[in-house]
């Protein structure tokens, strides 16, 4: 089978031929149908030696949709042929967070996160999943819709659902900073799940146009955001740079929340003149739970969340990563395995 591998740190991934794995006890082999490409892939392949606790080589791809191709001993053979998505973060299954259904906050995760992030992922013709609990039914959802939702959509849903500030009236305001692969999905989710006014911000005109198509009530560049919003109940920062973190913090109203989802090196200064006197919450959400992914697939079936995608073949991955690195893509690249 073909597979895009992270074989060396600070290097571009390599397309190689590998044998198709056979599922052992408890394991499930997927025939991959679609894979989303993510900025996290670039963080992984571009990392310097010793930065990440992953052993090389491994196959990339952590946003995966597929069809169950074969199962190992102990797995219901009736699953073969079922359309599924992979819950990409593989916790221990035994710690108190995992027992609470929060594998994204597993207390024993010290090395590889999951498939595509330290373990073999789905940027290949086949993917071996170590336990059926990492799968969610995706029957009735286009694989090229389902795949990018497993991270971009799931992280957005988790950030919105985990916010402790109520968005329960039309006078509530939610701000989305960064209308990229996650932000445009957050706009759709906010519009469907809350009555709040949604205001989006990005430096790119194409991203602002996408925000409006996704349902934002207003979409403005950062230098116009404060004038447009005034104050916001919830600010979702999908960039996380020094500039966006500072901007987001300046917009949060008393009792509101700043949710920093992006990881572009920003930090937040807490001072009595602002944060402590004003009184607002700061959260750093990470990915999402399997239960939330199940809910997301239901929303996708109903047409409430639809990612903006550019569909490519497995052979076009290198060019797509280059475009992702340059910031020239709006929405998500999705590898459609039906294209060859």
pLDDT of residue 263: 86
pLDDT of residue 273: 61
Residues 176 and 126 in one domain: no
Rg of the chain in Å (alpha carbons) = 20
Residues 144 and 164 in one domain: no
Residues 80 and 161 in one domain: no
Give the number of domains in the chain: 2
- CATH number, domain at 255? 3.40.50.720
- CATH number, domain at 39? 3.90.180.10
Q: For residues 54 and 117, what is the distance between their CA atoms, to the nearest angstrom?
A: 8
Residues 117 and 159 in one domain: no
Tell how many helices (H) and how many strands (E) occur in the chain.
11, 18
Residues 113 and 160 in one domain: no
Under DSSP, the state recorded for 24 is -
Q: For residues 1 and 112, what is the distance between their CA atoms, to the nearest angstrom?
A: 23
- Which residue's structure tokens are 């916010």? 163
Residues 10 and 123 in one domain: yes
Sheet holding 2-6, edge to edge: 14-17, 2-6, 58-59
Q: For residues 26 and 285, what is the distance between their CA atoms, to the nearest angstrom?
A: 30
pLDDT of residue 264: 83
The two tokens of residue 29 are 């082999």
pLDDT of residue 276: 53
User: Looking at 242, 262, 283, which one is the last position of a domain?
Assistant: 283
Residues 139 and 205 in one domain: no
Residues 119 and 52 in one domain: yes
For the chain, how far is it from start to end, CA to CA, in angstroms? 12
Residues 202 and 121 in one domain: no
**CB distance 88 to 41 below 8 Å:** no
Residues 145 and 160 in one domain: no
pLDDT of residue 39: 87
Q: For residues 138 and 143, what is the distance between their CA atoms, to the nearest angstrom?
A: 8
- Cβ burial 108-134 (10 Å sphere, 16+ → b, else e): ebeebbbbbbbbbbbbbbbbbbbebeb
Q: What is the DSSP string of 239-272?
A: S--HHHHHHHHHHEEEEEEEEE---SS------I
- Which residue's structure tokens are 């349902």? 215
Q: Please tell me the pTM assigned to this model.
A: 0.93
pLDDT of residue 321: 94
Residues 139 and 174 in one domain: no
pLDDT of residue 275: 53
Taken in order 295, 300, 302, 308, is the CA torsion positive or negative? positive
| CB-count burial class (<10 Å; 0-12, 13-18, 19+) for 273 | exposed
- Which residue's structure tokens are 């807490």? 270
User: Structural domain of residue 295, as residue ranges?
Assistant: 2-151+287-336
Residues 251 and 143 in one domain: no
pLDDT of residue 277: 53
* C-alpha dihedral, 72 to 77 to 83 to 85, nearest 10°: -40
The pLDDT tens digits along the chain (340 residues) read 999 999 999 999 999 999 999 999 999 999 999 999 998 899 999 999 999 999 999 999 999 999 999 999 999 999 999 999 999 999 999 999 999 999 999 999 878 999 999 999 999 999 999 999 999 999 999 999 999 999 999 999 999 999 989 899 889 999 999 999 999 999 999 999 999 999 999 999 999 999 999 999 999 999 999 999 999 999 999 999 999 999 999 999 999 999 999 988 888 877 666 555 578 899 999 999 999 999 999 999 999 999 999 999 999 999 999 998 888 788 899 999 999 7
Chain Cα centroid distance, residue 91:
17
């Amino acid at each position: 089978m073909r597979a895009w591998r992270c074989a060396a740190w600070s290097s571009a991934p390599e397309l190689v031929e590998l044998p198709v794995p056979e599922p052992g006890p408890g394991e499930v082999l997927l025939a991959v149908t679609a894979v989303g490409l993510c900025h996290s892939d670039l963080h992984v392949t571009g990392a310097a030696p010793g930065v990440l606790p992953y052993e090389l080589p491994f196959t990339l791809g952590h946003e995966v949709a597929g069809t169950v191709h074969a199962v190992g001993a102990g797995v219901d053979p009736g699953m073969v042929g079922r359309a599924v998505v992979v819950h990409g973060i593989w916790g221990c299954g035994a710690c108190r967070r995992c027992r609470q259904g929060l594998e994204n906050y597993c207390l024993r995760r010290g090395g590889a996160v999951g498939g595509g992030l330290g373990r073999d992922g789905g940027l290949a013709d086949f993917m071996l999943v170590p336990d059926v609990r990492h799968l969610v039914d995706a029957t009735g959802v286009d694989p090229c819709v389902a795949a990018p939702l497993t991270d971009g959509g799931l992280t957005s849903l988790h950030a919105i659902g985990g916010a402790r500030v109520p968005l329960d009236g039309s006078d509530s305001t939610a701000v989305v900073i960064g209308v990229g692969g996650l932000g445009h999905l957050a706009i759709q989710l906010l519009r469907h799940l809350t009555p709040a006014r949604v205001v989006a911000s990005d430096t790119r005109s194409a991203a602002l146009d996408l925000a409006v198509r996704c349902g934002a009530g207003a979409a403005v560049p950062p230098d116009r955001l404060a004038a447009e919003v005034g104050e916001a109940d919830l600010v979702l920062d999908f960039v996380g740079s020094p500039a966006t973190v500072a901007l987001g913090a300046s917009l949060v109203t008393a009792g509101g929340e700043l949710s920093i989802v992006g990881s572009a090196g920003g930090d937040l200064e807490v001072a009595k003149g602002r944060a402590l006197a004003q009184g607002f919450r700061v959260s750093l959400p990470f990915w999402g739970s399997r239960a939330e992914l199940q809910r997301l697939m239901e929303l996708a079936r109903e047409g409430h969340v639809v990612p903006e995608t550019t569909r490519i073949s497995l052979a076009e991955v290198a060019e797509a990563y280059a475009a992702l690195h340059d910031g020239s893509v709006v929405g998500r690249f999705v590898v459609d395995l039906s294209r060859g």
